[in-house]
């Protein structure tokens, strides 16, 4: 058991105890499509696979991205590896551009670490109630070799407007800098369709973890029209993780064949949970934005470290500290759990807040 001062995501990831309600981890509780398991009884392959990824899977992905071909993709160990490789490739490029990456704050908690592991430096963007401030963006993008965009956002649930995303395309194209667009929540938008950022220096990152609830199988990918960038990613992967898990890739291929109703059905469930949690937090008087995508909320909470600690140790409820996401004074709630558990979690939260001094 960790102590209160050293709390980190690792204190909670994978923790499952009887009676525990977790608003912590961002892993869907809904099962993957049945089809992904159907290959298992017949599956016999065990050898190394192509570093770039299973050809049939890349062909299937290319059908989802207009104007793309199978060679523009690299299949990775989750979006996490796609981010890691992209950042390390960026750091290795022989350009005069500053070795800095621009990202919005609050951010997905791994971003600053991954940027620093690659030898680059994070530069943080102002946001106004979770939205990118374009003036700040214009100003700071000039000092960077790349920007990292995450819409819908973990942890805010914000979806940037199409106008903002188009402006980002224009500004970055003019500066000749890269855009890493982490779109792992692109199918989980409640307010409009996804807008796919595009351009010669855009690297799109995606995953089967969230849309198809396959996070433990670790299948993600990157897509870019920049052939040199893709080749460098493959070269780096050759000497680091080599191929991505071949069984997981076959399962992901099956997921690409599942009718779109699967995704639409999941989205309805997420939306119902969002409304339930939002209503509950709002009624408790917490300052919280209604998410437009993904499955997170980021209410403001007084003394958030005490809150996270007490909720866990006294009320058996996991929540994540806003500090981890660059959002001090807040706590992140994931609503990747069923409505009965959300109701029970809210009951415990009410009980705690009513007794809080």
Instruction: Rule CB under 6 A: choose which of 21, 215, 236, 251 binds ligand PLP.
Output: 215
Q: Which DSSP letter does residue 86 get?
A: H
Residue whose CB is less far from ligand PLP, 69 or 216 = 216
For 326, half-sphere exposure in the C-beta direction (CA atoms, 13 angstrom radius) is 22
Q: Which DSSP letter does residue 299 get?
A: -
Residue whose CB is less far from ligand PLP, 182 or 187 = 182
Residue whose CB is less far from ligand PLP, 100 or 332 = 332
Asked if residue 321 binds ligand PLP (CB under 6 A), the reply is no
Describe the chain by its helix, strand, coil percentages, rounded to 5: 40, 15, 45
Enumerate residues 20-49 that contact ligand PLP by CB under 6 A.
Answer: 26
Smallest distance, Å, CB 350 to ligand PLP? 28
Smallest distance, Å, CB 223 to ligand PLP? 14
Asked if residue 152 binds ligand PLP (CB under 6 A), the reply is no
Asked if residue 130 binds ligand PLP (CB under 6 A), the reply is no
Residue whose CB is less far from ligand PLP, 27 or 164 = 27
Say how far apart CA 308 and CA 334 lie, in whole Å.
13
Instruction: Rule CB under 6 A: choose which of 11, 127, 154, 224 binds ligand PLP.
Output: 154
Smallest distance, Å, CB 126 to ligand PLP? 20
Neighbours of 233 (CB within 10 A): 24
Asked if residue 241 binds ligand PLP (CB under 6 A), the reply is no
* 319-355 burial code (b ≥16 CB/10 A, e <16): bbbbbbbbbeebbbbbbbbeeebbebbbeebeeeeee
Q: Alpha-carbon torsion 7, 11, 12, 15, what sign? A: negative
Instruction: Rule CB under 6 A: choose which of 57, 74, 79, 233 binds ligand PLP.
Output: 79
Say how far apart CA 56 and CA 54 lie, in whole Å.
6
Q: Which region among 78-86, 125-133, 195-203, 279-287 touches ligand PLP (by CB under 6 A)?
A: 78-86
Tell me the C-alpha to C-alpha distance, in Å, between residue 78 and each of 48, 83, 192, 245, 316. 18, 9, 25, 10, 30
313's CB contacts (< 8 A; 6+ apart) are none
Asked if residue 229 binds ligand PLP (CB under 6 A), the reply is no
Residue whose CB is less far from ligand PLP, 215 or 308 = 215
Provide the angle, in degrees to the nearest 10, between the axes of the packed helices 110-117 and 78-92.
Answer: 40
Smallest distance, Å, CB 111 to ligand PLP? 8
Instruction: Rule CB under 6 A: choose which of 80, 161, 198, 256 binds ligand PLP.
Output: 80
Q: Which region among 75-83, 162-170, 232-240, 311-319 touches ligand PLP (by CB under 6 A)?
A: 75-83
Q: Are 320 and 302 in contact (CB under 8 A)?
A: no
Instruction: Rule CB under 6 A: choose which of 84, 160, 182, 187 binds ligand PLP.
Output: 182
Residue of minimal CB distance from ligand PLP?
78
Asked if residue 204 binds ligand PLP (CB under 6 A), the reply is no
Q: Which region among 76-84, 137-145, 256-264, 309-317 touches ligand PLP (by CB under 6 A)?
A: 76-84
Smallest distance, Å, CB 41 to ligand PLP? 26
* Residues contacting ligand PLP: total by CB under 6 A: 13
Closest CA to 294 of 213, 190, 162: 190
139's CB contacts (< 8 A; 6+ apart) are none
- Tokens (6 digits) for 226: 């920049």
- Tokens (6 digits) for 174: 């003019």
End-to-end CA distance of the chain: 26
Smallest distance, Å, CB 240 to ligand PLP? 15
- Tokens (6 digits) for 28: 């869907």
Asked if residue 53 binds ligand PLP (CB under 6 A), the reply is no
Asked if residue 184 binds ligand PLP (CB under 6 A), the reply is yes
Kindly list the residues in this chain that would bind ligand PLP in the complex (CB under 6 A): 26, 78-80, 108, 150, 154, 182, 184, 207, 209, 215, 220
């Amino acid at each position: 058991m960790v102590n209160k001062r050293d709390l980190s995501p690792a204190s909670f990831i994978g923790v499952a105890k009887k009676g525990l309600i977790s608003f912590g981890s961002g892993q869907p509780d809904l099962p993957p499509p049945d089809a992904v398991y159907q290959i298992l009884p017949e599956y016999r392959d065990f050898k190394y696979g192509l570093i770039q990824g299973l050809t049939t899977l890349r062909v299937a992905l290319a059908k989802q991205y207009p104007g793309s071909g199978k060679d523009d993709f690299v299949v990775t160990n989750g979006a996490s590896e796609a981010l890691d490789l992209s950042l390390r490739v960026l750091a290795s490029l022989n350009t005069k551009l500053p070795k800095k990456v621009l990202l919005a704050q609050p951010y997905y908690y791994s971003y600053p670490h991954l940027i620093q592991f690659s030898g680059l430096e994070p530069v943080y963007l102002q946001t106004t109630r979770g939205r990118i401030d374009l003036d700040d963006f214009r100003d700071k993008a000039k000092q960077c070799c790349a920007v990292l965009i995450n819409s819908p956002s973990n942890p805010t649930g914000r979806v940037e407007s199409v106008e903002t995303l188009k402006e980002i395309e224009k500004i970055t194209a003019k500066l000749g800098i890269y855009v890493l667009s982490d779109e792992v929540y692109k199918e989980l938008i409640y307010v409009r369709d996804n807008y796919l950022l595009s351009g010669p220096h855009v690297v799109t990152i995606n995953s089967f973890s969230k849309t198809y609830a396959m996070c433990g199988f670790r299948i993600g990918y990157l897509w870019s029209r920049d052939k040199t960038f893709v080749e460098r990613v493959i070269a780096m992967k050759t000497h680091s993780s080599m191929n991505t898990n071949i069984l997981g890739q076959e399962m992901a291929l099956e997921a690409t064949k599942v009718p779109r109703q699967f995704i639409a059905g999941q989205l309805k469930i997420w939306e119902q949970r969002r409304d339930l949690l939002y209503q509950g937090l709002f009624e408790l008087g917490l300052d919280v934005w209604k998410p437009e995508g993904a499955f997170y909320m980021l209410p403001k909470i007084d003394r958030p470290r005490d809150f996270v600690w007490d909720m866990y140790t006294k009320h058996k409820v996991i929540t994540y500290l806003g500090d981890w996401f660059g959002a001090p004074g807040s706590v992140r709630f994931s609503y990747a759990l069923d409505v009965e558990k959300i109701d029970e979690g809210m009951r415990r939260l009410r009980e705690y807040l009513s007794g809080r001094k």
